[in-house]
Structure formats: C-alpha cells, structure tokens
C-alpha cells in the first residue's frame, strides 16, 4: 500500500499511471474501431457482432468497469499534473515553445474535457439510446445510420474524433518518454509512429459518419 501511495503522490508515478491507463485505452480504441468498421460488411455482420459482445454480461461489464476505472485514473492524474505544473510556475513565460511542446501538447488541457464530454454523449447516444431519435436494441447498423443522418451529429462526432487523435498523438509520443524509451537516434521515428497510429485511428472512426452522410452506408 505504501508503494502504491508513493506511486500516486509522485510526479513520475502519475505519469506512469497515465501511460499505463493510456495503453489500456489505446487498445480499446483499436478494438472499438475494428468493430465499427464491420458496418461496411453489412447489417447482419455488425449486428451479430453486437449480439456476441452482449452474450457474456460478466465479461462485458468487467471490460466496462476496467475502462471506466482507467479513464478516471487517467483524467485525475492529468488534472493533478496540470495543477502541479501551474503551481511550480506561477509566472508564465512570455515566449516558451520548446520543440517537444507542439500543437497537440498545447491543446491537451482543453481537448481532454471536450473528449470526456463526447464520451458521455456517445454512451447516451449509441449505448443507452437515451439521446438517439430511434434507438433499436442490439441493432448498431440501424442506430449508426439513423444517428449519423443528422449532419450536426455527424460533424460533432468528426470534430471530437479529430481532437481525440491529437490527444492520442501526444499521448503516444509522451508514453515512450515516460518509460525512458527515448534516444536522439530514434526520437524522430517515435513521433512518426505516434502520428501514423493517430491518423489511422482517426481515419477509421470518421470514415463511418462520412460514409453515412455520403450515402455509401444506408438503410
């Protein structure tokens, strides 16, 4: 317990916890994206996939609880690190833009809360159906098509996913640094790798609302 408390209270410990929970959330994003892309295989395939996921409620809720815990730890650690950083530097620099602080890093503070709000909306829209105009239980194909036929909803999703991928890009790049996997010889390549993963996930997710708006995927 003492070691866990020390891990949580130290700055390095918080960064490690953010990195570990970030890996868990990144793995979920990849799996979720691959599941979503089954929509291109037709309603029967993706609807069967939804039925399969809900066939084992113990496993389903175990994954959900693990994700919620990871998100909670990730957000709490991020907020505490941000507050600690502000407290250590009460006077802002007039001009301070080191190479590692790029646009993605500078937008982490406000993109995080927007992504959190998007997750809540996403759950209410496609998981519980509370905010869906014609929600159908275990019918993700119909729910997605009907949901994204509203251009406002589709554009909001696209914007949120783009922000998520900026967040993901910086998170993946920082992860290597947190674990000490950085070296001048391949620092450039870890940025490239982070960008490739972030862009691939972004493209996979936003392709669905774009396909619905374009009429490629329809009822």
| Residues of the chain with confidence (pLDDT) below 50 | 95-96, 98-104
Interacting residues of 75 by C-beta distance below 8 A, sequence separation 6+: 112, 116
Number of compact structural domains in the chain? 1
State the pLDDT at residue 106.
55
Flag whether 141 is in a domain.
yes
Flag whether 64 is in a domain.
yes
Flag whether 63 is in a domain.
yes
Q: What is the DSSP letter of 219?
A: -
Flag whether 119 is in a domain.
yes
DSSP letter string, 63-105? HHHHHHHHHHHHHHHHHHHHHHHHHH--SPPSS---TT--HHH
Flag whether 219 is in a domain.
no
Q: How many helices (H) and strands (E) does the chain have?
A: 9, 0
State the pLDDT at residue 96.
47
Flag whether 123 is in a domain.
yes
Flag whether 28 is in a domain.
yes
Phi-psi region of 75 (alpha: psi -120 to 50; beta: other; left: phi over 0): alpha
Q: pLDDT tens across 77-111, in order?
A: 888 887 887 777 655 555 445 444 444 455 566 67
- How far is CA 161 from each of CA 30, 164, 165, 192, rounded to the nearest angstrom? 13, 5, 6, 19
Whole-model pTM: value is 0.85
Q: What range defines the domain where residue 29 resides?
A: 2-214
State the pLDDT at residue 151.
97
Extract the tokens encoding 121: 């909306």
Rg (CA), the chain: 19
Flag whether 189 is in a domain.
yes
CATH number at residue 116: 1.20.1300.10
């Amino acid at each position: 317990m003492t070691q866990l408390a020390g891990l949580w209270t130290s700055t390095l410990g918080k960064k490690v916890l953010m990195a570990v929970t970030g890996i868990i959330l990144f793995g979920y994003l990849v799996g979720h994206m691959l599941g979503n892309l089954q929509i291109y295989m037709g309603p029967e395939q993706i609807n069967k996939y939804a039925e399969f996921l809900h066939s084992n409620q113990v496993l389903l809720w175990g994954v959900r609880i693990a994700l919620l815990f990871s998100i909670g730890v990730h957000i709490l650690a991020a907020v505490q690190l941000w507050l600690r950083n502000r407290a250590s530097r009460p006077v802002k620099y007039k001009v301070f833009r080191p190479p590692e602080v790029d646009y993605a890093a500078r937008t982490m503070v406000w993109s995080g809360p927007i992504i959190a709000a998007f997750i809540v909306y996403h759950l209410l829209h496609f998981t519980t159906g509370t905010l869906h105009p014609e929600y159908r239980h275990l019918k993700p194909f119909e729910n997605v098509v009907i949901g994204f036929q509203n251009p406002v909803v589709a554009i909001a999703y696209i914007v949120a996913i783009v922000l998520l991928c900026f967040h993901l890009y910086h998170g993946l790049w920082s992860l290597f640094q947190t674990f000490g996997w950085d070296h001048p010889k391949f620092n450039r390549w870890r940025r490239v790798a982070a960008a490739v993963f972030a862009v691939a996930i972004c493209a996979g997710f936003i392709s669905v609302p774009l396909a619905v708006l374009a009429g490629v995927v329809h009822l």
